Chain A
Amino acid sequence: MNRETRQDFVFIGVILVPLIILVGILIYLPALDSLLTSFTNENLRILRPPKFIWLKNYSKLIESSEFWTVTARSLLVVVLTLPLELFISLGLALLLTEAFPGRAMVRTLIILPWMLPPIVNGFLWGWLLNGEYGALNGLLYQLGFIDEYVTWLKNPDTQVLWVTVVQTWTRFAFPTIILLAGLQSIPMDLLDAAKVDGASSWQTFRNIILPLLMPSIAVVLTIEFIASLQIFDVIWTLTAGGSAGGAINPFTKTLMLYNYELVFRDLRIGLGAALSYLILFLSLGVAIVFVTRLYNQAVKT
């Protein structure tokens, strides 16, 4: 056995194997346990041994209108959040690649909302949007845009929109950083050549920057899709309307809140586990599309 092979064995034995065991114990074992639970009627509220009911939990969910309403609402949050986040973060990333005084400070400030826990952001926005003393009302009233204070979070039609705004505010820093890194990896000579060839800013962006940025965009879309689909904290603090007994505002109930309701409030462990797997399949499906279609295609280009 030569030295290199020995080193490989040491690497596998000392670093890789414990890591695989750890990941197996902490992630795959509980996941397998959840999968098995999803085939049972386990309900901690009913003190009885769980019975194997095969796919009944899955069919119960798929047949229920609440599941589809909640899924549609989750997808609506995703559809509204992703373009908004991408638009803001791409604009900011483009701006931050330019040299200007105080750039380092601005870059740091932009990360701030991302550094704050989503729960803090939720409460913060809850106060801003308060209809009695909220700062937004104060500002709009002073500027003459409204005649009287508005209860922004009362209307069920606008609640999801506000959730989108707060989620974008909470998350936009992360895509900005990824896109900024992507922009800085674009070779300068390509941009210089475009300038020499007389390409306009738009042409440079469309034909050089955007195609080269596609792998970063694919990463951003995949991660942000998962983050938006699994949104919980922002809704919990902003519009969940939780009261004694844990009632959840039905108009902003998304998949994760529904999952919380089933597992932690109603203690329907079997049904909740089945829902977790449906969420996993949904996330996985879309992530595969993003990665294969956008990332791989962009890398090939």
Chain B
Amino acid sequence: MLTMKKALVSIMLLVLIPISIHAAKITFLTPSWGVPPDKALLESFQKESGITVEIQSVQNKDLFSRIQVAAATKQAAADVVFLTQEAPSNLVAVGMMHSLNDLMGKDPLESDLTGQKFWNIGGEQFGVPVYAQLVMMDYNTDRLKQAGYSSPPKTWNELKSMSKKIKSSGIDKHPIAMKSSDWSWYLMSLSMGDPMFDKDMKPVFANKGSKARVAMRMLFDFFSEGLISPEIVAGTVNQHSIFWSGSGTFHQGWQGSIRVGNNAKKSKQAPYVAYMVLPEVGNTWSFPAAIGIAKYSKNVEASWKFIRWYTGKENQKSIYNAFGLYPSRASVAAELNDEGVVDGYSQILAQSKKVDELPRYTLWWGPFTAKVTEEILTAVQTDADADKTVDKIAGIWNELKSEYE
């Protein structure tokens, strides 16, 4: 009889164990830089919590479409989602993320986590900040010295003339590592002091004589004069990989990018990379990258536990050490600074005071910004006129605005 009971219990356990394991399994959809870099840390989390995390690393563009397609059929492509710079428009504004308010009611987020406000829409929290992104520029000090310059440029015109000299003197074939995309234009425009949009969401970048027009013209010049590698236009490389592979003197990076640039194992530019505060007015945009839970996730509790671990101190430190992504926890940032591992802290601080946000939460921002990149790509491949391109982009903005409003 006892043996019979034992057998029954064993069978029950065999049946129930897989069910409990299944219930504690979550999927995490993320671009490559969101994959937890410290495998041992992740394993210990899995062991302690009993939650198995299946990580799906995909490209940004695939990340959005996966979630959008799944959400159309009221399914979650993954439980936890990494929220990048286009996520506010592509995922949050379109209602594809789960509100974290209930979870935060039981387990409130610490005020130490900066950037929470960015992901709070109408009182609903949709993401927990992972790292603070501040788009910056860095440069190779040695190449600048070789060309006879002792300090980085103060204007974009200066940057252009320095690049031309660096190229003509054979120091660097393609001195500027920037992409033929929306980002480059926004960065240059904001840096020149153009607000791009007014409070009524009118595209003031298209005003006659605007700085954004100057920025577009200059960006096109960078390409036509061969200051940016044509491989970037071909789309086979991006500005970061090409810079770290050794090509480029000025690089569009972020707060933390010189951590990678000066790592000899990852970059041929090491140890000469330093930040520069953006030229002229010097504005940039900032963005707290976050993680959240997909709207139709069936593993909300387990996902929350993972999010809390992911945005915890240890993981933030390991993310900074691996990818140079600046922690969203003020205490971690302070600790890293005390340890002396935050390179270029004073420049980061100086740059962080010059921020002008873009309207990323507007419903049509996603399709708009993709179209901006397409127009820039078209223009640099056909030597199109910068003013006409800006006018066309303004037309696209107005058309989308009237459609979505």
Q: Spell out A's residues near B (CB within 8 Å).
A: 44-47, 126-127, 129-132, 151-156, 239-251, 260, 264-267, 269
Contact = CB atoms under 8 A, between A and B. Distances in A.
B16 interface: no
Contacts of A264: 65, 68-69
Interface string B82-126: 001110001001110000000000000000000000000000000
The secondary-structure label for the interface of chain B is helix
B60 A245 contact: yes
B209 interface: no
Interface of B: 59-61, 64-65, 68-69, 71-72, 84-86, 90, 93-95, 179, 181-183, 229-231, 233-238, 245, 247, 363-364, 366-367, 369-374, 377-378, 381-382, 404
A130 B374 CA distance: 21
A154 B230 contact: yes
B64 A45 contact: no
Given A44-B94, A153-B236, A246-B370, 16 more contacts: A45-B367, A127-B236, A132-B237, A241-B234, A243-B181, A243-B373, A244-B85, A244-B183, A246-B60, A247-B181, A247-B373, A264-B68, A264-B69, A265-B366, A267-B68, A269-B72
B61 to A, nearest CB: 4
A243 B64 contact: no
A46 B363 contact: yes
Contacts of B370: 245-248, 265
Contacts of A249: 235, 374, 377
20 contacts: A45-B366, A132-B247, A151-B230, A151-B231, A154-B230, A154-B234, A241-B377, A242-B61, A242-B235, A243-B179, A244-B60, A244-B61, A244-B183, A245-B61, A245-B90, A245-B373, A246-B60, A248-B374, A250-B374, A267-B68
A44 B72 contact: yes
B374 A45 contact: no
A130 B232 CA distance: 11
Contacts of A153: 234-236
Given A47-B94, A154-B381, A269-B72, A245 B235 contact: no
B86 A244 contact: yes
A131 B234 contact: yes
Contacts of B374: 247-250
Interface core residue of A153, A244, A245, A264 (most chain B CB under 10 Å): A245
Contacts of B59: 242
Nearest to A246: B61
Nearest to B400: A266
Contacts of B93: 45
Contacts of B60: 243-246
A45 B93 CA distance: 8
